[in-house]
Structure 1
């Protein structure tokens, strides 16, 4: 069971790398959200994907788009990673209950204890308009994000 295109995106509240609570519903009526689940901070493929998001964010829709990146890492690990890599968007900790938000979205790998690579593009009304789910070793294509956002 997971979230499908056309479903309302399940709301959540997670702490970012600074310990600040972030709620998905806070962006409703304001911004489209690119919700990116990834396995672990400091890993090769995850770093590459978040580099692309960091560097290409202005071409994804600028001020009308909010990237939220979610992993099971602690907020302390996320803070160190964000500071090191200069990520300017929230890195959200799905640490406890362990992977609870990833589970609700259907992108949690129970055997490995981490999220797979799931991305959900959510419109300003809170509806999932596009999604992609890749296996842990398979990076996502940021050009697909761009196309999906352009279609909203």
Structure 2
């Protein structure tokens, strides 16, 4: 898979108005998903630390249970972690996620790093979400502090503004 160039300084997340770093990552079947191929479609990239963990499971299950909000707005949802493909496949089968789970396993955290949401100390992605418009520009983003989940209402407000 390709290693994107960092779009921001280390420790600083990509924000509204910034071009989204391009990437190619495998989904749960090993099929490459290339962000540039999704141009023309609004995309929400959701980074999370670990499959099967409490907060991550509750957040992604909430997105799963409210997927119609994103589909109605014409938004493609991509969820990204540094877990290996096989872990993500097992988690997707367990939870019934109907959206893509992508593996940023190798080079480890390269895509999370390019978005400015890789935690170098612990080696995983932080909880960062990026709404990317049809031209590849970030229109909304949020990065949650450690241990704090993202709010579904924040996503709904961002969707209402596109």
Alignment of 1:88-127 (within 5 A): 88-127=98-137
Greater shift after overlay, 53-62 or 85-94?
A: 53-62
Structure 1 runs (4+) deviating above 3 angstroms are: none
- Is residue 69–residue 91 contact of structure 1 (8 Å, CA) maintained in 2? yes
- Is residue 34–residue 119 contact of structure 1 (8 Å, CA) maintained in 2? yes
Greater shift after overlay, 76-85 or 135-144?
A: 135-144
Number of matched pairs: 151
- Which of residues 2, 5, 21 is equivalent to 1:10? 21
Q: CA deviation at 1:62?
A: 2.8
Counterpart in 2 of 1:56?
66
The gaps in structure 1 that reach 5 residues or longer are none
Counterpart in 1 of 2:6?
none
Q: CA deviation at 1:3?
A: 1.4
Counterpart in 1 of 2:97?
87
- Which of residues 83, 86, 94 is equivalent to 1:76? 86
Matched residue SS, 2:59: helix
Aligned-residue RMSD, C-alpha: 1.0
Give the whole-Å Cα distance in 1 for the aligned partners of 2:36 and 2:59. Answer: 25
Q: CA deviation at 1:135?
A: 2.0
The gaps in structure 2 that reach 5 residues or longer are 1-8
Matched residue SS, 1:60: helix
